[in-house]
């Protein structure tokens, strides 16, 4: 049975008289904590105040398709619920589920309000106003932050997907013409009654050349095109300008063309060269389609990994994989003037964590670093294993840095140094909550030499 002495031991009740504590015990009831048993449910009317005497209680929020532990009440004197004592619309913000055996004092919200009104009526008025104002502000700001973040990521992802998608469309359009050229050149070879052996020889020659790709020197490519044009003109081959461009990009040169000329009859040289150019172009276009669609597929896979839509709440994860997917999603911000240096430990252990939540941390830290550099500079991300089997991640930027007073408050909720409309002060606060409260790790922002470093340490479990 919970007694006045149980409450007197809690710092929460410092300054209160014994008769007041006795009244509180009288209107409440003792409730046993059983591991796994739910005591109150998220979204229900918060019609009771739950005070922890001993043991532990997990507070869970339903996010997506899973229940996420947002906090654990494990210190005597911590409490939850009771909001209807000062807000007629108050509901439980999370579900309460037993974590370790213990006891709770359950006080009905109306009784708590009556006692509060009797003991300190002015404080009740303050709580009512504070609760109403804070709820309104938090709801508005978090909604705005979510919309801004979603819009930024969506715009970046659209930009990332647009380039390979456009490349694939262009290649497919060109394939229509290329396929027609292949069919026409086959007809030309048939008209010249080219033997199957000659066709096999031409195919072998085609396989010898390798497309130059995007990294080819444009001056060397132009010189090759000119030399091929002269050779084709000397051998009276039609459409020499187009064929020279295609053959040069495919990796052909004059010496290779001489071998082609020696493998077929002079009358079949034109159709043979046309067939080789058309088939080489078709192969190159197909490769472009493969690369472009592969890029789109990789982006979709990265976003899927980033969002963790099909993963459980907590599992063994590879931190490096999450960082890479976050960098890919933020690629539009990093391309212009940011040089990314990866220093990932090869022997990094896996840790038990919520991958989706940690991806939010990496996104916020990288976004904050890029903003600090004004979009141009050096971004260094490193990982290493800690002595206890955990992981340490450092995100360093070459920005101008911030004063110590700013670094000290960087993780405070709603604190921001950005201009109006460009920040809400929630990014680093969210990162801190995820690291410290959800994963029992540490996070710090410090100045080391010429770099500002965000250092995150995560335990193995």
The band of 137, judged by pLDDT with boundaries at 50, 70 and 90, is very low
Q: Assess whether pLDDT exceeds 50 at residue 243.
A: yes
Q: What is the per-residue pLDDT across 332-351, written as a single tens digit (0 to 9) for each?
A: 667 667 889 999 998 899 99
- Mean pLDDT is lowest, of 156-165, 255-264, 314-323, 333-342, for 156-165
Q: What integer best gives the mean pLDDT of the chain?
A: 81
Query: Which is higher by pLDDT, 381 or 236?
Result: 381
Report pLDDT for 420.
42
Range among 123-132, 134-143, 298-307 rated most confident: 298-307
| Segment 297-311 mean pLDDT | 61
pLDDT band at 270 (very low <50, low <70, confident <90, very high): confident
Confidence check: pLDDT of 105 > 90: yes
The confidence score (pLDDT) of residue 126 equals 53
Q: What is the pTM for the complete model shown?
A: 0.47
Question: Which whole number is the average pLDDT over 162-187?
Answer: 82
Residue 142 pLDDT class (50, 70, 90 cuts): low
Domain spans in the chain, listed from the N-terminal domain onward? 4-119, 161-295, 312-458
Of the two residues 356 and 95, the one the predictor is more confident about is 95
The answer to whether domain 4-119 has CATH 2.60.120.10 is yes
* % of the chain surpassing 70 pLDDT: 82
**Per-residue pLDDT at 423 exceeds 50:** no
pLDDT tens, position by position, 343-402:
999 889 999 888 878 888 888 898 888 888 887 889 999 999 999 889 999 999 988 877
259 vs 21, 190, 254, 262, CA distance in Å?
Answer: 102, 21, 9, 5
CATH number for the region 312-458 comes to 3.30.565.10
Residues 426-436 have pLDDT tens digits of 568 778 888 88
């Amino acid at each position: 049975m919970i007694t006045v002495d149980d409450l007197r031991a809690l710092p929460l009740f410092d300054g209160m008289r014994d008769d007041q504590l006795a009244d509180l015990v009288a209107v409440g009831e003792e409730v046993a904590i059983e591991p796994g048993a739910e005591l109150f449910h998220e979204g229900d009317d918060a019609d009771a105040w739950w005070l922890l005497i001993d043991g532990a209680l997990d507070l869970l929020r339903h996010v997506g398709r899973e229940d996420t532990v947002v906090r654990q009440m494990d210190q005597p004197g911590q409490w939850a619920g009771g909001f209807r004592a000062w807000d007629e619309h108050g509901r439980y913000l999370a579900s309460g589920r037993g974590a370790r055996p213990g006891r709770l004092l359950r006080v009905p919200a109306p009784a708590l309000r009556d006692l509060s009104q009797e003991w300190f009526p002015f404080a009740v008025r303050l709580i009512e106003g504070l609760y109403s104002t804070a709820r309104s502000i938090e709801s508005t700001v978090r909604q705005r932050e979510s919309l801004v973040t979603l819009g930024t990521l969506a715009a970046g992802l659209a930009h990332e997907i647009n380039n390979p998608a456009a490349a694939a469309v262009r290649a497919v359009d060109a394939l229509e013409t290329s396929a027609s050229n292949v069919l026409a050149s086959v007809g030309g070879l048939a008209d010249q009654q080219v033997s199957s052996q000659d066709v096999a020889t031409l195919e072998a020659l085609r396989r010898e050349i390798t497309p130059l790709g995007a990294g080819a020197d444009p001056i060397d490519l132009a010189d090759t095109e000119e030399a091929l044009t002269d050779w084709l003109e000397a051998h009276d081959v039609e459409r020499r300008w187009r064929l020279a461009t295609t053959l040069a990009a495919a990796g052909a040169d004059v010496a290779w063309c001489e071998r082609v000329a020696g493998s077929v009859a002079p009358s079949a040289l034109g159709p043979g060269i046309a067939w080789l150019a058309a088939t080489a172009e078709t192969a190159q276009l197909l490769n472009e389609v493969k690369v472009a669609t592969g890029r789109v597929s990789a982006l979709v896979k990265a976003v899927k990994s980033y969002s963790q839509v099909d993963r459980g709440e907590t599992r063994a994860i590879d931190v490096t994989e999450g960082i890479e997917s976050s960098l890919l999603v933020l690629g539009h911000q990093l391309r212009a003037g940011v040089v990314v240096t990866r220093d990932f430990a090869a022997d990094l252990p896996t840790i038990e964590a919520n991958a989706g939540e940690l991806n939010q941390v990496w996104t916020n830290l990288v976004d904050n670093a890029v903003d600090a550099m004004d979009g141009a500079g050096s971004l260094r991300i490193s990982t290493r294993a800690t002595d206890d089997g955990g992981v340490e991640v450092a995100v360093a930027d070459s920005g101008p840095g911030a004063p110590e007073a700013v670094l000290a408050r960087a993780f405070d909720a709603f604190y921001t140094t950005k201009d109006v409309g460009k920040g809400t002060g929630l990014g680093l606060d969210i990162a801190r909550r995820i690291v410290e409260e959800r994963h029992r790790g540490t996070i710090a922002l410090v100045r080391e030499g010429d770099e500002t470093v965000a250092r995150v340490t995560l335990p193995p479990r």
